[in-house]
Amino acid sequence: MAQKDVGNKIPIYKLKTTSEVMKYYDEWGDKDKYNKDMVDWNYTGPKETVEIFNKYQKNKNILIFDAGCGTGLVGIELKKYGFENFHGADLSQTLLDTVPENLYQKLEKVDLNQKISSDDNYYDAVMCVGTFTFGHVKPNALDEFVRITKPGGLICFTINEGIHEEYGFDKKIENLKNNKWEELEFFKSDYIASKDVNAWLGLYRVK
């Protein structure tokens, strides 16, 4: 079946460089426009992903790394299920500045295409929602997620369907299956159904 072309569905998908994407987010995050658009678009990525995560993760006291946390939408969902301990990281300071106060224990500006400053086996779980998309974070970030997650910990993420093969996420996921993680869930989620944009939702346990 031919891959659906979603590259023109949303303006930011047309941007190719990190600097272009950051400039866009700086304007998008102003006056809460980003959060309003997410509501208007019925962006369900955070809700769907945390629901699946919660199905497998019963210990609410674990430490979670929310990679590409944006305005904190995943943190809000985690809190609903009783999770309390999470750190957030994003490349856009504008979006980080709009995260609700006291939602995360720590927030930092991070380029997820670079090595993450955390120690090996530091987090119990990593969440990454809406970050693997056009012009954003590349597949090598998954290696870093595995590195910073404790053995037995969970890594839960979405990949925009438009870049899954084009950016090489399909190959990276298969390679990691060899000796780094085991697959618990991998399916096509609604993501931004109002724009006819789906995402692959994956949940993996680190070996």
Question: What are the tens digits of pLDDT across the range 69-97?
Answer: 999 999 999 999 999 999 999 999 999 99
138 near 167, Cβ under 8 Å?
A: yes
Domain that holds residue 22: 11-111+122-151+160-206
Structural domain includes residue 169: yes
CA dihedral (70, 164, 114, 24) positive or negative: negative
Measured distance CA(16)–CA(7) in Å, rounded: 11
* Number of other CB atoms surrounding residue 60 within 10 Å: 12
Higher pLDDT, 33 or 171: 171
Structural domain includes residue 116: no
Tell me the CATH number at 97: 3.40.50.150
> How many domains, in total, are found in the chain?
1
Structural domain includes residue 84: yes
Q: Is the pLDDT of residue 103 over 50?
A: yes
What does the chain come to in residues?
A: 207
Structural domain includes residue 4: no
Among 3, 59, 38, smallest CA distance to 129 is for 38
Confidence of residue 4 (pLDDT cuts 50, 70, 90): low
Tell me the pLDDT tens digit for each residue of 28-63: 778 788 888 888 888 899 999 999 999 999 999 999
Structural domain includes residue 3: no
Q: Is the pLDDT of residue 146 over 80?
A: yes
Residue 194's pLDDT is what?
A: 84
Structural domain includes residue 170: yes
182 near 205, Cβ under 8 Å?
A: yes
Higher pLDDT, 127 or 196: 127
Measured distance CA(43)–CA(73) in Å, rounded: 10
Higher pLDDT, 148 or 29: 148
Q: Averaged over 122-132, what is the pLDDT? A: 97
Residue 25's pLDDT is what?
A: 75
Structural domain includes residue 81: yes
Structural domain includes residue 65: yes
Among 196, 189, 200, 140, smallest CA distance to 164 is for 200
